[in-house]
Amino acid sequence: MKSDEIRIGEKTTTRMILKIIRWILIILVLLVFLFPVYWIISGSFKTLGEFYTRPPTMIPKQLMFDNFKNALSARGLKGLIDSAIISVTVTFITMIISVPASYSIARYSPGGQQISFFILSILFLPPVIGVIPLFFIFKTLKLLDTYSVFFLSYMFFNLPFCTWIMKGFFEDIPFELEQAAMVDGHSRFTVFFKIAIPLARAGIAVASLFAFIFSWNELMFASIFARHHVQTLPLVLQDYIGSTGVAWGELSALATIAAIPGILLAIFMQRYIVRGLTFGAVKG
Amino acid sequence: MRTTVKNKTEYDAKPPTHKKIYWDGKRKLSYAMIAPAFIILLFLAIGPMFFMFVNAFRTWNLAVPAPPRFSGFKNFLGLFMDARFGNAFLNTVILMVAGIIIQSILGLGIALLLKKPFKLRSVVMALILIPVLIAPVVAGLNWKLIFNETFGPLNYMLGILGMKQPLWVSSNRFWGLLSILIVDTWQWTPFVALVLLAGLEAIPGQVYEAADVDGAKPFMVFLRVTLPLLRPMFVLIILLRTIFIFKIFDPVMILTQGGPGSATETLSLLTYYTGLKYMNIGYAMAMGVLQIIFMIILANIFLKFTTSSKLSK
């Protein structure tokens, strides 16, 4: 009797200790993955002097917004506006083209498996391989350094990705539902717009958010296709690093602005990120 | 949780009848719906592909005032004897192997940590996903500040612990590659962890109950039950990480630019430099062809794997 009680007591203590260890580990993990994010955000409030201290300044002395003001007064604002224009437009065009395409593949797979394979393999290509020939093609077409070159070239990765992801969502809709509607005399277009699209709206939302963030984050294409007329945020950031006597405060402020969409999407799209980035292989 | 388990037969042998009924006589519409996407991708992918295959067999260097001319396999032969290309290839493989091993182990640890539901679990999951979606430029920048040899917090910490304080990105091949590896691991481990977590959650509870009845020790259960059942998830992670690290560009460009010299160049970066900096188009396109062949093989494996294997139920 007594020994039993002791054993139960022991068990609860071990369980408590395990729980504490687990929480310490979880906090450690969070610290490791969030510290760099904190570092760039806190950097955007630091004065230049605070970047050159030892030990490093963990918490900026005052909450000043001069860095943001300076960052957005120079090329930063142009970068921000262009990034927004390009990302929004690319997302919009991509969705208009890829929604019907993915629906068609999900419901009939025209062209058979070859089409699926073609789309997926473009996604796997190192972009640098597409970018060098495209540079010469766009140069011949006199498209370099225009917005159109971004709208077009960003579909290189967005179109296959969105088509592939939404295909999975459309496949999840029971086809009987659509069939029943057609038996009731609705046309195929009505079925597509009134039944399929509303039922796949989660997939469409996820795909468009991915398209947005991919365009927003993209660096390689931008660094090759843009000159002076068009400047995206990643480009401006890269140029900052290259320049001598880096204004770290401004740079951090601009990087913080560039990081905001990613942070927001990570928080709100959590459930779908794994599905998206495994190309639909794992449905959370 | 469900996973794509598409029967292979669904594609090649005979399409399921319901699809046939559904589209009966309406094939044209299905082609019309896919046409715009297909045409654009044809322009963006097949055009460049054609350009690449033609020029891979030509000597065409814009830095030399000579017109391009056919030269057979000269570019490819050159690649096999090019120490710089070998170095870039080796770096890519090193990053790939080290990245996959480290990220799988860390990811598995995090997945096990998050397996048991608790109140703030979804908050924790959302927070650790931030690195995944943050712009690679920003991630590179973050870490450039953290790696700073004199004023960065990392070396300060190492100093407190009484350890060596390396120069990180700017010192040599080892530290440069390690920096790139750290940034990639920081960005992608959360993703690996959540994929493995999805795999863990898909293991039915009865499996553990059965093991418990048999009196298996927790560690043995982990070794003999959990790990084997996670195998498909590990295969998926290896495939995806291979594909992504194979084209790694942004972190290298931001952190080391391939330097010092060409010590930390990866395949993508070297191809970029060769084509657009040294303007040696033919040679760059030959590199491209080799990368394409590798990627097509991988895409095939991925498609076979996701369409035929039972990832988990």
The minimal CB distance from B19 to the residues A39, A108, A220 is found for A108
The predicted pLDDT at position B20 comes to 46
Give whichever of A57-71, A177-191, A223-237 has the largest mean pLDDT: A223-237
pLDDT of residue B172: 85
Binary contact (A54, B156; C-beta < 8 A) = yes
**Averaged over A168-191, what is the pLDDT?**
84
Q: Which of A34-43, A130-139, A235-244 has the lowest mean pLDDT?
A: A235-244
pLDDT confidence band for A2 (50 / 70 / 90) = low
> Which residue in B has a C-alpha nearest to residue A104's C-alpha?
B30
Which of A1-15, A122-136, A179-193, A199-213 tops mean pLDDT? A199-213
Specify the higher pLDDT residue, A142 or B168: A142
Query: What is the per-residue pLDDT for A194?
Result: 86
- Cβ within 8 Å, pair B44-A121: no
pLDDT band for position A85 (50/70/90)?
very high
The answer, for A141 touching chain B at a CB cutoff of 8 Å, is: no
B282 in Cβ contact with B71 (< 8 Å): yes
Q: Where are the beta strands (DSSP E) in B196-238?
A: none
Contact B306 A279 (CB under 8 A): yes
What's the start-to-end Cα distance of chain B, in Å?
7
Confidence (pLDDT) at B156:
85
Confidence label for B92 from pLDDT (cuts 50, 70 and 90): very high
3-class secondary structure per residue, B275-293? HHCCCEHHHHHHHHHHHHH
| SS3 per residue for B239-305 | HHHHHHHHCCCHHHHHHCCCCCCCCCCCHHHHHHHHHHCCCEHHHHHHHHHHHHHHHHHHHHHHHHH
To the nearest whole percent, how much of chain A has pLDDT over 70? 95
Strands B2-3 and A282-283: antiparallel
Spatial contact of A225 and A40, defined as CB atoms under 8 Å apart? no
B280 inside 8 A of chain A by CB? no
Q: What is the pLDDT of residue A204?
A: 93
**All domains in chain B, ordered by first residue:** 8-308 (1.10.3720.10)
Q: Report the chain A residue with the minimal C-alpha distance to residue B255.
A: A241
Under an 8 A CB cutoff, do A120 and B38 touch?
A: no
Highest mean pLDDT out of A224-228, B76-80, B88-92, B254-258: B88-92
Interface pTM, i.e. ipTM? 0.88
Chain B closest-CA separation from residue A253 CA (Å):
11
The predicted model gives A137-144 an average pLDDT of 90
* B87: pLDDT strictly greater than 90: yes
- How far is residue A182's CA from residue A105's CA, in Å, rounded to a whole number? 19
Sort out which chain A residues have CB atoms less than 8 A from B5's CB and list them.
none
Q: What is the pLDDT of residues B124-134, one digit of tens each?
A: 988 999 999 99
Nearest to B141 among A118, A182, A237 (CB): A237
pLDDT grade for A125, boundaries at 50, 70 and 90? confident
Extract the runs of DSSP E, i.e. beta strands, from chain A: 282-283
- pLDDT (0 to 100) of residue B312: 41
Query: What mean pLDDT, rounded, does chain A reach?
Result: 86
- Contacts with B, A 38-97, CB within 8 Å: 39-40, 43, 51-56, 58, 97
Give me the pLDDT at residue B310, please: 52
B276 touches chain A (CB under 8 A): yes
Q: pLDDT at residue B8 above 50?
A: no
Q: What is the mean pLDDT of chain B?
A: 83
The pLDDT of residue B173: 87
> Is pLDDT of A99 > 60?
yes
At A109 the pLDDT is 75
**Within an 8 Å CB–CB cutoff, is residue A178 touching chain B?**
yes
Task: Mark yes or no for CB contact A104/B31 under 8 Å.
Answer: yes
pLDDT at B29: 79
* Residue A124 near residue A118 (C-beta atoms within 8 A): no
3-state secondary structure A229-276: CCCCHHHHHHHHHHCCCCCHHHHHHHHHHHHHHHHHHHHHCHHHHHHH
The owner of tokens 């490819």 is B76
Decide if pLDDT at B311 tops 80: no
More confident residue, B54 or B166: B54
Q: What confidence tier does A8 reach under pLDDT thresholds 50, 70, 90?
A: low
Residues of chain A contacting residue B191, judged by C-beta atoms under 8 Å apart: 273-274, 277
The identity of residue B268, as a single letter, is S
**Quick check: B16 pLDDT over 60?**
no
Domain A68-277: homologous superfamily in CATH: MetI-like (1.10.3720.10)
Q: Which residue has the tokens 């943001």?
A: A68
Instruction: Please state the domain extents for chain A.
Output: 2-43, 68-277
Question: Does residue A119 register a pLDDT over 70?
Answer: yes
Average pLDDT over residues B44-64: 86
Instruction: Note the pLDDT of residue B25.
Output: 54
Cα–Cα dist B68/B58, whole Å: 6
Q: Rounded distance, CA A32 to CA B309, Å?
A: 35
CB distance from A122 to chain B under 8 Å? yes
List the 262-281 stretch of A: residues with Cβ below 8 A of B: 262-263, 265-267, 270, 273-274, 277-281
